Amino acid sequence: MMMAILMTIVALAVVLYAAAMVFKRRYKMRAEEVRNQVESIEKASLDADFAKLSRMTLSGDSLTEVENMDKSYHYLMNRRLPEIIEELDEIDEQIEGYHVFLSKTGIETTRKKTMDAISQYRELAAKVSRIKKQAESHQEAVKELKDKYQRIRKILLTKNFSYGQSIDALESSMQNLENLFEDYMKVLEKGDLKKTDEILSELRQKTRVLETALDKIPPIYKNYKNVYPEQMTEIKEAVRKMKEERYEFEFDFEKVISETDDQIKRLDEGLAKIEVENCELLDNKIYENIEKLYDAIEKEYNAKLRFDKRLSYFKDFMEHARKQEQELLIELDRLSMNYVFNHNEPENAHSLDDTLKRIEKWYQGYENRDEEMSICYSEYYSRMLENLQNLANIEKRQKEIFDSVASFFKDEQDAKRAIQNFDAEMHRLKRSIDNLNLPGLSNEYQQYFLKVSTEVVDLANDLGKIQVDMDQIEHDLINTQSDLDVLEKKTQEIIDASTLAQECIQYANRYRGESEEVANAQKEAISLFEKCDYIKSLDTIAHILEKVDENSYRRIEASYKKKSKYQS
C-alpha cells in the first residue's frame, strides 16, 4: 500500500516536472520576444533627429510641440524602457528559479507596457518625420517661389507690351506677392512652422492666380488691341455699303454691333482689373458675335448673287407654268361639255392655279417693290428655291392631269368600235342559231341573250349622252365583253349539242328494230330535243349508242368536228 502511494507521488512529480519544463521554455520564449522588441526601440534611436530639431530656429506652436516631443522621447528612453528591462530580468530569474507559473502574469504585464512604448515611439517618429519634411518643404518652397517671382518679374519687364492695360494691376499683384513673401520669410526665420504653412498656402494660391493671368491675358489682349478693332471697322464699313445697296439682315444687325462694342468696352475694364475668368467669357462672346456678323454679311452677299443669277430662269419657269396652266384649264373646260371627270381633274387644276397665283404675286411683289425698300436676300432666295420646287410640282401635276384626259376622245372612238363589234357579234350568234331551225331555245339561254343584248344597247345609249363617263364606259365594256364571251360559249354548246343529237338520233335508226333499249333511248332523246334540252338529248342517245356500237359516238363527233373545221 505504501509502495503504491509512493509510486503515485513519484509519477505526479515527474508529470509536474515535465509540465514545468514545457511552460519554462514557452515563457522564456515570450520574455525573449518582448526583450527583442525593447532592444529594437533602443537601436532605432531618435537622438540625432531631436538634436537636429534642437538646432532649428523654432517658435510658437512649433517650438512647444518639439519641446513636448523631446520630453516624451527622453522619458521613454531613460525611464520606461529601462523599467521594462528590469522587469524582464526579474521574470528571467523567476523562470530559472522554477517559479514558472508566477512569471505568466509578469510577462503579460510587461508585454502590454512594451506595446504601449512601441506605439509611443512610432508616434514620436512620425511627428519627427513630419516636422523634418515640413521644414524641408519650406526650404524647397522658398527656392521655388524665388525662381517663380524672378521669372514673373522678367516677363513683366520684357513683355509688358503684351499686357496693355493689365500691366499696372499685374505689377501691383506682383508687389503684393513679394510683400507677402517677405512676411513668410520672417515667420519662417522665427521657426513657427504652423503659421508658415498658412502663409505658404496663401502665397501659392495667389501665385497660381498671377501665373494664370500672365498666361491667359496676352492672347485676349491681342484680340482686344489688334484683332477686334480691325474686324469691327471692317464689319461696320461692309454694313454701311450694304445698307446703301438696300440689303437687309435676318436679325437686328445694329443691335448685335452695339452689344459687341459694349462687350469690347467691358473687356477693356476687365483687363485693367485682371479679371481673367470674366475676360475669357467676354472674349468668347465677342468672337462669337463677330463670327455671327461675318457669317450674316457673307450669307446675304452670296444670297443676292444666287438670287440675281436665277431670277431670269425663275421668271421663265413661272411663265411656262402659267402658259401650261391656261392650256390645261381651257382643255378641261372644253372636255367638260362632253365628258364626265371622275378624278377631280378641274378641282386639282384650279388648286394648281391658286398656288401659281401665289407664286406670281410673290414675284410681282419683288419686281414692283419700292426702290428704297431693303431686302433680306437670304429669305428671298430661300423663298425662290421653295417656289422653284413648287413650280416643278405644278408642271408635274399639270402633265399628269393632261395625260389623264388626253385619251378621252380616242377612248370614246374605241368604245364606239367595240360596241359595233358587240352588235355584229350578237347578230352573228342569232343567225347561227336561226340557221339550225331548232324547235326553240331554253329560257335560261334566251334570258342570258337578252341580258347581253340589253348591255350592248345600254352602252350605246351611254356613249350617246351629252356628257360621257369614260371610266364607267370602260368598266361596262369589260363586263359586256366578258358576258359576250360566255354567250358565245353557250351558243356554241347549243349548236354542237343540237347538231350531234340529230345525227346520233338518225344513226340510232340502224339499231331501233333490233334493240328495244335503243328505241326507248331514241324516243327519249327526241322528246328532250323537242323540249330544247339539246345537251341532255345528246347525252341520252350517245350513251346508248356506245353500248350497242362501241366508238360510234366518237366517230360521229370526229366527223362533225372535221366538217365544222372545213366550213369555218
Would the pLDDT of 369 be above 80? yes
Which cell numbers in the block locate residue 269? 475694364
Judge residue 187's burial from the number of C-beta atoms within 10 Å of its C-beta, 0-12 exposed, 13-18 middle, 19 or more buried.
Answer: buried
Q: Please name which of 91, 213, 76 lies closest in space to residue 152, comparing C-alpha atoms.
A: 213
- Lowest average pLDDT, out of 76-90, 223-237, 485-499, 527-541, goes to 76-90
What was the pLDDT predicted at 210?
86
First to last CA, the chain: 158
Rounded-to-integer distance, Cα 356 and Cα 362, Å: 10
Which helix or strand (DSSP H or E) is residue 90 part of? helix 81-96
CA–chain centroid gap for 10, Å, is 97
What was the pLDDT predicted at 98?
52
Contact (Cβ atoms closer than 8 angstroms) between residue 89 and residue 125: no
Judge residue 41's burial from the number of C-beta atoms within 10 Å of its C-beta, 0-12 exposed, 13-18 middle, 19 or more buried.
Answer: buried
User: Could you write out the three-class secondary structure of 329-378?
Assistant: HHHHHHHHCCECCCCCHHHHHHHHHHHHHHHHHHHHHHHCCCCCCCECHH
- Lowest average pLDDT, out of 290-304, 362-376, 414-428, goes to 362-376
List Cα–Cα distances, 498 to 67, 112, 447, in angstroms.
146, 137, 19
* For the chain, domain boundaries: 11-151, 226-406, 409-567
Give the pLDDT confidence of 55-80 residue by residue, as tens digits.
Answer: 555 545 555 665 676 666 666 666 66
Class of the domain covering 11-151: mainly alpha
pLDDT band at 51 (very low <50, low <70, confident <90, very high): low
Long-range contacts of 42-45 (CB under 8 A, 24+ apart): 42/77, 42/81, 44/121, 44/125, 45/77
Rounded-to-integer distance, Cα 460 and Cα 181, Å: 117
Q: Please name which of 527, 474, 472 lies closest in space to residue 501, comparing C-alpha atoms.
A: 527
Percentage of the chain lying above the pLDDT 90 cut: 43
Among 411-415, 514-518, 526-530, the range with the most confident prediction by mean pLDDT is 526-530
What was the pLDDT predicted at 152?
82
Would the pLDDT of 20 be above 60? no
Would the pLDDT of 383 be above 70? yes
Which cell numbers in the block locate residue 47? 537622438
What is the rounded average pLDDT for all residues in the chain? 82
What was the pLDDT predicted at 303?
93
Would the pLDDT of 31 be above 50? yes
Tell me what the mean pLDDT of segment 206-235 comes to: 92
Give the pLDDT confidence of 293-321 residue by residue, as tens digits.
Answer: 999 999 999 999 999 999 999 999 999 99
